[in-house]
Structures are given as structure tokens and as C-alpha cells.
Structure 1
Amino acid sequence: MKKTLTLQTRLTIFVCVVVFISLLITFFMIGSETARNIREQEQAIALQTAQLVAESPLTAHALESGTYKELQDYTLRVQKITKTDFVVVMDMNSIRKTHPDPHKIGKKFAGGDENEALKGHQHISTAKGTLGESKRAFVPVYNEKGKQLGAVAVGITLNEIQEIINRSLRPLYTVIVLSICAGIIGAVIVARKVKTIMFGMEPYEIATLLNERSAMLESTKEGILAVDQNGRIKLANAEAKRLFKKMGINESPIDQDVSTLLPNSRLKQVIETKKPLNDRDVRINGLELVFNEVPIHLKKGNIVGAIATFRDKTEVKHLAEQLSGVKMYANALRAQSHEFMNKLHVILGLVQLKNYDELGNYIKDIAIYQQSETSEIINHIKNSVLAGFLLGKQSYIREQGASLEVDCSTTIPNTANTEVIHDLITVIGNLLNNALDAVSASDKKNISISFRYHDGQLDIEVTDTGIGISEEDQRKMFEQGFSTKGSNRGFGLYFVEQSLENLNGHIIVTSEKNEGTTFSLRIPYEPKEEDHD
């Protein structure tokens, strides 16, 4: 795998490059402007010096009289004061009358750019002379009568101008070097600060973590809501949005005030008090929820917001009933225990009365009744869990003042799949509970359940003598929460349908008013190898 540079290294390099390019551009612009200004200044000095010498009466007098000793001394003084490289006075034939080098006096001016001045025009040019390439200023010389007598040439060599420019830019070099050093130090500090803010993580690590956290938030079965320190919602997962719709809130919760959207929420209170609130029952728009609200702390202890997790309390309340009919097991065992204790009390009373003949007859009757009641189940239903559940259910229904008849037209083999038995118990238990509710208001309180196994299919029928179910209710009876018996009901038949889906089975309902109801089920059922004929 190709190794990539860390974020800190990349930030350092990036900031250094930006600083370097910025300083380079700045240096170029300042250097160019400085050089241009210096050149213009030197040209101005040369022209002003030439004008000064040309307008001096000494210059015109020397050219007219032919005596140049005093003029030579004068031009050398001017050259020294103005720091120019040469001040040359020439006649109309371009013959030098003054020069920094006395040996060149009397010789023709070199360069060929003096002609314009000898024609009466002052100008500036660049040409190569005896002192090298230089910037030259030419000004014509006139006497009092306006007659041109010659010209003055003042020059500054280009090397001298460049040296002046370099001396002017030296402080800038120092500033640039110091700025680059400061930029590198700043880049390192910024990169470290960014790295600290990002908890030492690389961008790809943050992206991976964000994707993982998002997947976790969206897949959790609890609603999750996060708010900032001002109480505005910043995060809501899929389950939270589903519960919002269940409450009748269809608008997007993001960036809304939590107190406006959920008046019963105490997230703002949690932020103010910095104390969590756990397992709080909240009712919002008819939906009962269990809320947990906690503040969000930073490492330094600052509160930056709060987070709430919540779940439909009705779903929590009925979760145990959904898991393998646990509640049904408990009720059946309790009924058997209660019935057994009643019989023990009768036996104990007969023993204390020493009425042994009556005691014998009582025990004999119990044994015969128990044998006839249980033999049908024990002999035909080979799965002990299902058989025990039906026996317990018989006792429970009898305790409620009704009767349960169990009929097995064929032997029901055992199965190796315990999940099938759990789902069967959920289906049978809920159907028998519904049947018990149905016959509670009837004169006849009879319930029957029949089993038949054939070619890998298990047929079950549950029949009651209750008041029946209307056609309208039959269309909605398997919907979650639908019930004709009041609020917080309507989960039994919903769980029946869910368990039948797990078993790949189907159900048919037949019902007539005041005639009772029959639930007919067909379920794929695979027996154990040793029980398979």
C-alpha cells in the first residue's frame, strides 16, 4: 500500500508554499517598483545636473573664451556633489572640453548620442562610452545672445544604478528571509493546532468513523435526537423520524427548536443543570415514550449540547409477549400450580378427618380424570414443551371458568427446530387468549383446538363459542394496535401474523355473529429424523 503524507505534513507544506509564493510575488512587485523609481530618480539627477552646468555663466564663458581650466574644476566639483560618473562639456564639434579623465579632454565624445543636443534639444539616452554603458542626460549650452556654443553631458553608469538598486533592496532581502522563517514556524503551529482539533486523526480516518457512526445511528432501534447548546436540533436518526411521523410531526426536525417541536422534552433543562434525566415517561400527541436525556460534555467540561434517546413504550411493554410466548408459559404454570394446591388442600383435609374411604375415591377420581384429560395430549403430541404448554393452558382456561378441549386426529411428531416450537406457542397462546376473551361474555364458554399432521404440513384449528367477529373487524384484526377491547391492546393477533410469517404458514378466519369463530392454520412442519415414518 502506497504510504501517503500525514495531514500535518501536508498542511505544513501547503502553508509554506503559499507563504513562499506570496512573498515571492511581493518581492518581485516591490523590487520592480523600487528599481523603476531609482532609475527615474537617477535620470532626474543627471538631467538636473546637466541643466545646472549648461545654465552656468562659467560654461558659456569658457566655450567662448577657450579657457577651460576653471570649467574643469567646476565640473569635477559638481560631479562629486551629485555623485554622477561624469560631467562632460563639449563644443559644437563634439570635442570634450572637460572630463573626469584629463587624458580624454580634447578628444571626440564617444557614443554618438550627442547629436540631438548639438541640434538644440535636451534628451536622455543609454549608450556605451569610454566609462562603459551608462544613462546620459544632454542639455545644449547657449550664450547670452541665444547662440548655441555646445552641450553638457552628464552620465551615470548602469553598473552604478544597479548597485544603488541592490543597496536599496538589501533590507527587503532580510525581511523576506525573516518572513519565510516566520511562515514556516506559523505553518507548523497551524498544522499542529488543526491536528489537535481533529483529535490526531487523518481525514480518511474521520470519513470512515463518520460513516460508521452514521450507520450505527441509522440502524439502532431507538430514536436518537441531538441538540446544540441553544436547544436547536442538529441530528435525528431514522427511528426518531419514524416516531415523529407516528406523533403526527411530518416536517423535518433539523435546525428546529426542540421545545417548540417537543414541548415535553427537557433537553434544555439538561443543558442548564448539566444533569441527566433517565427513564422518563413522556406522552406526546397520544404516543407514550420512554425518554433518556443526557448532556454532551467536552474534555474541558464545557456543555455543547444534549442528546436524547427514546422508544415507544408500548413496544417495550409488549416485547416479552413477542419473544416465544414467555408470558403464556408463566400463566399456564401458575394455573397448574394453583389447581394442584387446591387438590392438595382437599387431600390434606380428608387425611386429617381420617376419612380414608372418601380420600381413596377422591384420588381415584383425580387419577381417572387426569389420565383422560392428559392422555390425548401426551400420547399424540411428542414435543414435551408444546404438550406441557397445552396442559398448563387447559388448567388456566378452566380456572377462568371456561373449558378447553384438545383433539389430535394424528400423532404430532417432535421437531429439531426449537424456533418453530417457540413460534407455534406464540401463535397458539395468542389464539387461545383471544378465544378466552371471546367466550367470557357468552353462556357457553367452550374452546377447542385440533391438530393434524400429514406430509410435512401441520393443520391447527382453534374454535370458540364466543360472540364472533364482524367482517369490518376481520379486515383490520391483524394490524398492530387494533383492538375492540380498549387501549394498549391489539398486539396478540399482530404477533400471530408475525410468527406465521416466520413459519411460512397462513391463516383463515371463519366467524359468524353469536356463533363463534374458527381460526384455521396450515404450517410447514419438519419432524425429527427418528420420528419420521
Structure 2
Amino acid sequence: MLHAIRNSSLFVKLVIMVSLALCPPMLLGHLAGSYFISKYGYEDAENTVSSVAQLAAESPLVVEAMRTRQPEAYRQMTAFLETLTRASDVKFIVLIDMQGIRLFHPDAAKIGQHFMGGDEGKALEGQSYLSSARGTFGFSLRAFRPIFDAQGNQLGAASAGILSSDIEAGVARLTGPLGWLLALSLAIGIVLAVLLSRTIKKILFGLEPHQIARLLEERNAILRTTREGIIAVNKDGTLVLVNEMAEKILRSAGVFGPLEGQPVQSAIPGTRLDAVVREGRPEYDQEQNINSSVVLTNRVPILVQGEIIGAVATFRDMTDVRAQAERLTGLSNYVEALRSRSHEYLNKLHVISGLLRNGRHAELDAYLEQIIGSKKLETSAIAALVKDPIVAGFLESKYSRAHEMGVTLVIEGHGVIPPLSPKGSHALVTVVGNLIDNAFEATIYAVEKRITLNIENIPAQAGGYDELVISVSDTGRGISDEHLEKIFTKGFSTKGSNRGIGLYMLLLTLEEMDGSVEIDAKPGHGTVFTVRVPVAALAQGEQE
């Protein structure tokens, strides 16, 4: 994740950084609000159950009913507690005697049964408190209050409770809007981050930091390596740029010291850069005298969005310019030398013609080797890997074509092409020929023009070879996924009309020989065609 962010664009980084700066305070605010709302919800629930339990325990109706156990008193107590339950929003009010037996419960079927939860003990000892336990309605927050008669004798205890799920639901209703507010705040923050990032990118002309650094490095390298002196001033006539060659030329003219930041008129005598800034007119091929040293200079105003913000001058010492002109006058000598070389080449052609007419083939071979170089390395590679004479001769012709096109053709591998039948030789020439020709076309515009033909064999269990594997790779531009599915279609070609037959014929030939072809192509990284053909199919008909 960090690696992906590190490699992302400046726009993405700015959006992430601004969003991360906004998120923590927003999230902390949301958590703090949720915490206090939740705390308030539980405190309100505690106060409610405590008050209701207190009202039930101190009600004269409740005390009278528990003291006398008279039916009429019970009826009045039941009506009072049911009304209190509805009015107070508690889930239940329960009365128990000193043995923990329910005397009142919202569910009449539970009356007479023992109190559930196991947390009533302290209430029967005369204590008032809050507790959380699981009862007949589920897990709840409940308050206990002891019940005493007028003489101070404890008659039992009253318990009022609210389900924990109801408390959480109430808290959720209050915190829900906070969640929406947080989401809205984050969305607004991200939108602002995007707008800020776009503004910064616009100021930086859409460039990434590494692109800016690269441009600065390239600018410094160009200024450092150029043979011309380059100086630039801003609209106030202050020098803002002086490259190394400019310093060297100016030093030879007697101008020393740090120049950047100095007024151009006082630093460089005779310059007209300040006038170019004022007038906005370029001056080309002007001679300028600097302390008796003459330079040839060009002065051009710098315009940004139609406004002149400065001027730049390039110049060379007139001594160097004159020396260059003198060297150029020697071109006539080179032309004469080329004319002589052309006569010599014609003479060599005459020698070749004479040897050929006289049948002196051995001398002709020696003479040709002397002129165009030896082909022994290429021939030995073919001889070692190709035993079929037709295929060998065909590959030698491809070597010649490669030399004409300036392509490096390499034939290598650990396998061998055995002697084949005439039919097999013709089939292999069709297959390999189309692949090499396509590779030639693919490498026309490549920087490195290289084609590799690799020959391998898959041995058979009974001896000999079972399968011939030939791959042809090139350093061309590769094949896009869009074209990859169509290249074997008859008539399909990216090279113009009346094309698209070679690979179609290759596929037909392989199908006839029970062979197959695989393609490994990556746009911009070349293409590899791998052909697999059974050796038996290539040798078939050898005795015919």
C-alpha cells in the first residue's frame, strides 16, 4: 500500500495528505460526540429506573398491599404500577418479597416465581443500587430499592428496568445524524482536497515532482555541456543565469567575479540585453566587443503569456567562429576524396567481372572475402544446426537480407534440423520464412535491430527426435492485444492493403503438419513466435 502511494502522482498524494489531515479531527469529533451521547443515554436510563424504582418502593399503595396482602389492596397496587410503567417508559417493574418471590410482574404468569437474574440479594438486605443482568425480558439495566412499612420493617424490594437493547437503540437514534455529518464533512474535505490539488498541479503545469527534478537536471546538463555561452536577465535587467561556457568566455575577456544577481549593464560591458527587454525585438548574429574581445551573439526577448519577462543571449568567441569557418572550407577536399573512392570501387567491380569471365573461381572467392569479409561464422552456425540442405541454403539467403537491412540475425540453439523430405523442407521454409520476414518488418524502426532464430529438439523415448521446436524473436514494437487475435486471419494486416497472407499460410502449413504456434508479444518489447512440429511429419515422404 505504501509502495503504491509512494509511486502515485502528485495529485493523488496531495488528495491523500489533505484528506488524512482532515480525517483525524473529524473522526475524533465524531467519536467524542458519540461517547458523550452514549454516556448521556445510559445516565438518563439509570436516572429513570432509579426514580421509578424509588416511586414504586415508597408508594403507599405498594406498602399497604405488601403489608396486608389484601386482594383489594393488590388490585389498587397493580393498577398503579401498570400506569407507572407506561408513563415512565421502563420495560418492567417487579416487586418481590423477602424470599425473592415475585409479588408483581408485567407478565402475570411469572408472579409467584423466584426473581431471575441473581442480583436481588443486596436489595433484600436493605440496600439501593443499580445492576445489569439477564432476566425474563433479556439483558437489562435495573434499579433496586427496598420496601419498608411505617415501623421500618422491610417488606421486600422493588425493581425497575430498561432493556439494554432499548438503551442502545435510543443512543443510535441520537448518534445516527453524527455519522451522516461525519460522512458529509469527509466528502466536503475530499472535494476541497481535490480542488486544492488541482490548483497546485495547475501552478506546476501538471508536472510531477520527479518530472520537475528531471527537467532541472536536464536544464543544468544542457547549460553545462553546450559550447555556446548563455546568459539571461529578468525584466529588471538583473542577471539570473550564466552558464559555464559564458563564464569561461567572459573570463577570457576580463570579466570576473560572481555575475548572477548583478545588473547586466555593470557586469558585462557593451551588452544590449536591457534594450531587448525594453523594445521586445530580437537581435541575431551581432558582434559585441567586450574589453577588446569580440563575440558573435544572438539576443532574444523571453515571452510568457504574451508578456516580456526577460531576455536571453547566446554567444561564441569570434575566434572559434572563424576557426570553424576555416574547417568548413576543407569540405571540397573531402568531396574530391569521395570521388576518388568511387573510381576505386568501379575498378574493383572490373576485377570481379574479369575473374568471373575467366572462370577463376578460387581467386574470385578469395578476392570477395577480402572485400566484403568472411562468412565463415554464419556458415558454421548453419552447418552445425541445420542438416537439411534446402533449409540451410534458405537461411544463408536470410543472412544476406539481414546485412542489407542492417539487422543482426543470430541462429542458435541446442537442437538440430535433420534431413527432411522435399515436402517437409518446403513446409519448414514456408513457416520459418514468414516468421523471419515478419521479424524484418517489425525491426525496421527499432533502435536495436536483432532477430534470433533458436532451434531445439524434444527427444523421443525410443531414440531420435520426437518434436522440432523453432522460435523466432525480434526486438520490434510487439503486437497489441487487439491485433493478436486477428493476425492469422486471411487478409488481415497492419501494413496496408494486399497483405495478410504470410501468417495465414503459416497456420495452414502447421495444421497440415500437425504442428502448433505460440505467441509471446508485449507492446514495445518485441515478439516471440514459437513453432512446434513433429519431426515425423517433416520427414514423411522422404522415401517417396
* TM-score normalised by length of structure 2: 0.46
* TM-score normalised by length of structure 1: 0.47
